[in-house]
Amino acid sequence: MIITGVRSSRVPATRHRGRIWPGLVMGLAATVVAVAGSSAASQSSDELATLSAARRSAAGLWELAQHIDGHFLPYYAFMHLWLEFGQAEWWLRLPSAVATGVAAALVTDLGRRLHSLPAGVTAAAVYGLLPSVSYHGQNIRPYAFAAAAAVLAAWALHRAAGEPGRRGGWPGYAAAVALLGCTQVLALLVLAAHLLAVALYGRAVLARTLACTALGCVPGAVWAAVGLGQRHAISWIELPGPAVLLTLPRAAGGTALAGYVLLALASAALLLPRRHRVPRLWVTLLAGWALLPPVLLFGLSHLLSPVYVERYLFATVPAYALLAGLALASAPRPLAALALAGALVAGLPGQLRLRQENGHQENFPRAARIVSGNARPGDAIVYAGSWLRAGMLRYGGRGLPDDVLLAGAAPLPESFNYPEHADVTAALGGRERVWALWRGTGAAAGAGGDRLGALAREGFTLGRAWHVGRVPGMTVALYTRRPISHRGHHSERRPPTR
């Protein structure tokens, strides 16, 4: 194929044969990094939502999907099957670790196709060293799958467009796009870079890409429509300002330092001498893959509904790693080794922090230890949010005080919340000590604030409070009932913010 203005990226078939093992090695290495220490961190509220959905029957999962998180139904259905074989922490997080390995393997081969085997191996190494990759590789959520599907789609496009004689090239690309939409629907924004890049090809390739993209986006369009109808579930997302775009390096790298190192290495790929350059259309694809989704997500937030959340952009991270791999493969070996060591050092603090008990923000095991270690017979416990109950039940179990508001042992069919008694005053009757949990360090808001207000009205005063987990974390507080003669004479103390 003759490509106007761009040298052909067709690569002889012999170059692609017998080169599977580097990808397998890098994929295995990335999986091992993700698995290492994956049992240490407490589950986050989002991970607990996955666990709540996956534990339900098939009918119960379908009922849930009709009210909330319907666009995650493919992932929840997969995890529903996965839980049949175990529910240990490392086992629950293993699928994301394997998806991380698949992404690294595909990054290796795509980098080799675009430039050279060293470029692919280096790109996969950069990818595996990022704290953001380890975080999502240890997260019981679909974002690691979305990143792997995004690399697969780019790999399939290169195969279809650069090797037109290959059987199943364009159908394979359409299938990869369909898989991408079934992992995390907003990951489909990376396809804007595909269309921008193939515009540098002839009309025939552009027409085929458009047709396959349209066909492959059908499942994603269905999940997008479902998500749009359930956008009440993300009503907590605020309208983003332009400043959020300045946080892209930190979001991509997982920490600010790792992100800036990654951005510097990726930017260097755009300054390569001509003899080292990748065809312009593929550099366009990688740069667009990294930068277009956040801009489009920002635009959607202002035109449709606020949807800008950093984790929704994780599928762009492989593009940064590929650009970094191209730059390092073209640099002198000592300089490349030094830069790779710098990336390792920059990411190490974040990697270690992820493997702490509070590595995923929340720290339910510590909260459960505080409550169970200080509770007395007859104590009660109330939650300013059912997600807190889910975490405490998983890590505290029978060692917790009486859950006086709980009205049923299973979550509601249409949500992740548990049924609760509405009359807080009646539930607290006869109790002298009550434990309360809420998000953050300030006063609880919404329904949780009402519960704490009921505590004050019933004559309870705050005795002691602990802040648990990383910001925002949660507050664990112990309230005790004041003597009748002293009620109304003392104001409630604010909990410490340590």
pTM confidence score: 0.91
- pLDDT bin (cut points 50, 70, 90) of residue 1 is very low
Residue predicted with more confidence, 274 or 205: 205
- pLDDT for residue 86: 94
The answer to whether 171 and 275 have CB atoms below 8 angstroms apart is no
Asked if residue 496 has pLDDT above 50, the reply is no
Cα distances from 18 to residues 22, 23, 318, 358, in angstroms, run 10, 11, 24, 43
Among 96-110, 140-154, 260-274, the range scoring the smallest mean pLDDT is 260-274
Identify the helix (H) or strand (E) that includes residue 461. strand 460-468
Residue in 163, 307, 296 with CA at minimum distance from that of residue 231: 307
For the segment 335-393, what is each residue's pLDDT rounded down to a tens digit?
Answer: 999 999 999 999 999 999 999 999 999 999 999 999 999 999 999 999 988 889 999 99
279-296: average pLDDT = 93
- pLDDT bin (cut points 50, 70, 90) of residue 471 is confident
Whole-number average pLDDT of the chain? 90
Residue in 78, 91, 86, 81 with CA at minimum distance from that of residue 39: 91
46-57: average pLDDT = 96
Q: 402-403 and 474-481: which strand pairing?
A: unpaired
134-139: average pLDDT = 98
- pLDDT for residue 164: 73
Residues 6 or more apart from 44 whose CB is under 8 A from it? 139, 360, 361, 362
For the segment 3-48, what is each residue's pLDDT rounded down to a tens digit?
Answer: 333 334 444 443 444 578 999 999 999 999 999 999 999 999 999 9
Residue in 339, 337, 342, 318 with CA at minimum distance from that of residue 132: 318
